[in-house]
Amino acid sequence: MTISESIDPNLILVLPDTDEVDPEISIVVPALNESFTIGEFVAWCHEGLRKADIKGEILIVDSSTDNTGAIALAAGARVLKVPKRGLGRAYIDALPFIRGKYALLGDCDLTYDFRELEPFVKELRNGADFVMGSRFRGYIEPGAMPALHRYFGTPLTTFLLNLIYKSSYSDIHCGMRALTTDAFRRLNIQSQSWEYASEMVLKAARMKMKIAEAPIRFYKDREGRLSHHKRSGWFSPWHAGWINLKAMFLNAPEFFLFRPGGILFCLGFLLTLITAFGPRTIGPVTLSLHWMLLGLTLATVGSGALQLGILARVRHNFDPRFTSHARRVLTYDRGTLGGLAMFLVGTGFAAIALIAYLRGGLALRDVHYTSVFGLLLIILGFQLFTFTLVFELMLYDRNRQ
């Protein structure tokens, strides 16, 4: 046994007596008080490596208070001792210690069959960046997955993620997945808890990685073992689902902001522009003040959503070409001068109603369509100016990093 300390004093790597010198794949698995299953799990991993004919290391990320780490070490696994601070954080802590070209992730509770590694290895060697396990395309032991999860929760969230990110996963919550170590680093996982799973699959889709799926066998918990969800109480699966949805939404600026904002803005501005000089009749429809106010509302909401979408896309930087193009086009000078020009033109249009108001004894006798259009320009000008400031601040902070 060899003990190796890292730069972080909270992380201690313990090496087994027999250690693979040059692994092609690293099996990286967090463990929290899994002494009941960890020995057999490591044996499964060794068997899977032999059957797949690949050299590999087994890295157990251990935050246990029992003898899980000692059992794993005796079975031939590397053990990285870490504080208990979340499932996603365990993978983040482990990343600097991964030596293999590929990484295979999962659980050590014997629910995922690590004796069957060959489908993952085959896809990785064929050029896949990210290989997602699929229980639905493999085998699910009766009783392994609650009916609510199998027929509602997992299909629904998988459908939502595929819809939002234009992906084609069949099982986004499968815990067994593999990827190249380079892809692992590029994903730059930030989630500290269960939501790391969704963050990983959605980022792989957003970054246009080469994605494949591998059918896996999924078993129910061994007799005498309670899953971590059951240990945490009935609310734990619901909380995990909620924070996974949060990860989906936080990384989807295009779906919720960018494209809808652009559509709303164009529709609203066109509607307001058509009625800027009075009512217009198009076929059987007369566009009057109420339509104009609808257009003003749509344009204002759409402009705000579009700008937030741009900020979010640049912040995530999944598409460096978009970020580069935005930096070239959305300069401080253009934003400030454009916003000021719209504000001044809008003020000029709005002044028509102000003059009529003063001349009418502080009362408006008629509807001034041009002034309403001026109000829209004032709003858009102010929005453009403030957006430019926030955009420049974001770029300034990024350049400082």
Question: What is the per-residue pLDDT across 4-58, written as a single tens digit (0 to 9) for each?
Answer: 656 678 899 999 988 999 999 999 999 999 999 999 999 999 999 999 999 999 9
User: Can you spell out the DSSP letters for 21-72?
Assistant: SS-SEEEEEEESS-TTTHHHHHHHHHHHHHHHT--EEEEEEE--SSSHHHHH
Contacts 24+ apart (CB under 8 A), 190-193: 190/88, 191/88, 191/247, 192/85, 192/86, 192/88, 192/89, 192/92, 193/86, 193/87, 193/88, 193/89, 193/240, 193/243
Helix-strand-coil split of the chain, %, nearest 5: 55, 15, 30
Q: d(Cα 180, Cα 194) in Å, to the nearest integer?
A: 21
The tokens of 325 are what? Answer: 């193009």
Average pLDDT of 107-127?
96
Highest mean pLDDT among 14-23, 121-130, 240-249: 121-130
Q: d(Cα 190, Cα 187) in Å, to the nearest integer?
A: 9
Q: With the CA atoms of 306, 310, 315 and 320 taken in that order, what torsion angle do they form, in degrees rounded to the nearest 10?
A: 150
Question: Mean pLDDT score of the chain, rounded to an integer?
Answer: 90
CA 290 to each of CA 39, 296, 305, 369: distance values in angstroms, whole numbers, following the listed order: 72, 10, 23, 11
- H helices then E strands: how many in the chain? 16, 11
Average pLDDT of 99-116?
96
Highest mean pLDDT among 161-165, 244-248, 299-303: 299-303
- In the chain, where are the structural domains located? 2-250, 253-400
In this prediction, residue 224 carries a pLDDT of 65
In this prediction, residue 399 carries a pLDDT of 66
Specify whether the CB–CB gap between 276 and 373 falls below 8 A: yes
Give the confidence band of 390 by pLDDT, cuts at 50, 70, 90.
very high
In this prediction, residue 153 carries a pLDDT of 84
Q: d(Cα 218, Cα 303) in Å, to the nearest integer?
A: 47
Closest of 339, 366, 341 to residue 353, by C-alpha: 366
For 393, other C-beta atoms within 10 Å of its C-beta total 10
Q: Indicate whether 62 pLDDT > 90.
A: yes
- Give the CATH fold of the 2-250 domain: Spore Coat Polysaccharide Biosynthesis Protein SpsA; Chain A (3.90.550)
Give the confidence band of 363 by pLDDT, cuts at 50, 70, 90.
confident
Q: With the CA atoms of 202, 203, 208 and 211 taken in that order, what torsion angle do they form, in degrees rounded to the nearest 10?
A: -60
Q: Indicate whether 79 pLDDT > 70.
A: yes
In this prediction, residue 245 carries a pLDDT of 75
Specify whether the CB–CB gap between 213 and 170 falls below 8 A: yes
In this prediction, residue 240 carries a pLDDT of 67
The percent of residues in the chain predicted with pLDDT above 70, rounded, is 92
Q: d(Cα 31, Cα 112) in Å, to the nearest integer?
A: 14
Q: d(Cα 102, Cα 91) in Å, to the nearest integer?
A: 14
In this prediction, residue 137 carries a pLDDT of 96
Q: Indicate whether 254 pLDDT > 90.
A: no
This prediction's pTM: 0.76
The tokens of 152 are what? Answer: 């509602």
Give the confidence band of 367 by pLDDT, cuts at 50, 70, 90.
confident
Q: Which residues, other chains included, contact 306 with Cβ-Cβ below 8 Å and sequence gap of 6+?
A: 257, 258, 261, 262, 265
Closest of 341, 267, 336 to residue 300, by C-alpha: 267
The tokens of 140 are what? Answer: 């699910």
Q: d(Cα 212, Cα 168) in Å, to the nearest integer?
A: 10
